[in-house]
Structure 1
Amino acid sequence: MRTSIRRPAHDLRTIVRRPAFRAAAALGAVGVLTLSGCGGTTLDDITVGPGHGWPSSFHDGRNSGTTDVTGSRHLSLSWSRPIGGPALTPTTIGPDGQLFVTTGIGTACIGTPGATGALFSFQMPTGRKRFCNPLGVDVIHSVTAVDELANVYVGDDGAMNSINALGQPRWRTPVAGVPISVQFTADSHVLTITQSGQVDVLNRQTGDREVPSYQLLGEPDFLAHPNLPRPADGEGLDDCESGGPQCPVANVSAIAPSSGRFYVTVWQRGSAKASLVALRYADKRIQQDWSADMLVDGSATSPTLSPDGKTVYVGDNSGRLIAVDADNGRTKWAQPLGFSPRGAVSDDDGLLIPGGDDGHLMALRDNGASAEIAWQRKDLQLRGRPAQTAGETGYIVSPIGDALNLVTFDTHTGKTVASAVLPGAQGATTGTSVGEKGQVVVTSRAGEIYVFKPEK
Structure 2
Amino acid sequence: MRSGVLASSMWRPSRVRVLASLAAVGALAVAGCGTDVDDIAVGPGKGWPAAYHDGRNGGTSPVVGAKKVALSWSRPIGGPIAEPVTIGPDGQMFLTTNTPTCTIYSFQMATGRKRFCNALGPTAIATPSVVDGMTNVYIGDDHDNVGAVMSFNYLGQPRWRTPVAGTPISTQFTGDGNLLTVTQTGQVDVLSRQTGQRVVSTVQLLGQPDFLDHPSLDWPAAGQGLDECRVGEPQCPVANISAVDADTGRFFVTVWQPGKPTAALVALRYADNKIQQEWSADLLSGGSATSPTLSADGKTVYVGDNSKRLIAVDAADGRTKWVQPLDWAPRGGISVSGDGLIIPSGDEGYLLALRDRGDAPEIAWERKDLDLRGTPVQTAGGTGYTAAAIGEGLNLITFDTKTGSTIDSDVLPQAQGSTTGTSIGPKGEVIVATRIGELFVFKPER
**TM-score, normalised to structure 2's length?**
0.90
1:13-412 to 2 correspondences below 5 Å: 37-38=34-35, 45-46=39-40, 48-49=42-43, 51-105=45-99, 107-109=100-102, 118-157=103-142, 158-348=147-337, 349-412=339-402
Mapped partners of 2:195, 2:62: distance in 1 = 32
- Please identify, of 47-56 and 89-98, the stretch whose mean Cα deviation from structure 2 is larger: 47-56
Say if 2:40 and 2:133, in contact at 8 Å, map to a contact too.
Answer: no
- Alpha-carbon distance, 1:49 to partner: 4.9
Summarize deviations over 1:37-90 as a string: whole Å, max 9, x none.
3467xxx72454554300000000000000111000110000001111001100
Cα shift at 1:104:
2.2
Q: Show structure 2 runs of 5+ residues with no match.
A: 1-15, 17-30
Instruction: Give percent identity, aligned residues only.
Output: 65
Distance 2:430 2:101 in 1: 25
User: Given the superposition, is the C-alpha separation of residues 308 and 424 from structure 1 closer, same or farther in structure 2, using an over 3 Å criterion?
Assistant: same
CA offsets per residue over residues 132-172 of structure 1, 9 Å max, x none? 01000000000000000000000021000000000000000
* 1:431 equivalent in alignment to 2:421: yes
Please say if residues 392 and 410 of structure 1, whose CA atoms lie closer than 8 Å, have aligned partners that are also in contact. Answer: yes
CA RMSD of aligned residues (A): 1.5
Match of 1:450 in 2: 440
1:29 alignment counterpart: none
Unmatched 5+ stretches in structure 1: 1-10, 12-32, 110-117
Once residues 98 and 307 of structure 2 are traced to their aligned partners in structure 1, the CA distance between those partners, rounded to angstroms, is 30
Q: Distance in 2 between matches of 1:38 and 1:204?
A: 10
Q: Is the 8 A contact 1:84 1:108 kept in 2?
A: no
Hey, what's the Cα distance between the residues in 2 that align with 1:286 and 1:46? 23
Q: Structure 1 length normalisation: TM-score?
A: 0.88
**C-alpha distance in structure 1 between counterparts of 2:317 and 2:407, whole Å:** 41
Contact 1:52 1:148 in 2 (8 A): no
Deviations 1:400-443 (A, max 9, x none): 11220000000100000110000111000000000110000000
Q: Does structure 1 retain, via aligned residues, the 8 Å contact 2:46–2:63?
A: no
CA offset at residue 224 of structure 1? 2.2
For 1:205-253, what per-residue CA distance to the aligned partner results, in whole angstroms no more than 9, with x for missing partners? 0000001110000111122222222111110000000001100000000
- Separation of aligned partners in 1, 2:364 and 2:304: 18
Q: Which residue of structure 1 lines up, in the alignment, with residue 9 of structure 2?
A: none
- Residue type of the alignment partner of 1:142: T
Q: Is the 8 A contact 1:51 1:146 kept in 2?
A: no
Seen in structure 2, the aligned counterparts of structure 1 residues 84 and 350 have a Cα distance that, compared at 3 Å, is same
Cα distance in structure 2, aligned partners of 1:180 and 1:39: 27
Residue number in structure 2 paired with 1:113: none
Does structure 1 conserve the Cα–Cα contact (< 8 Å) formed by 2:377 and 2:384? yes
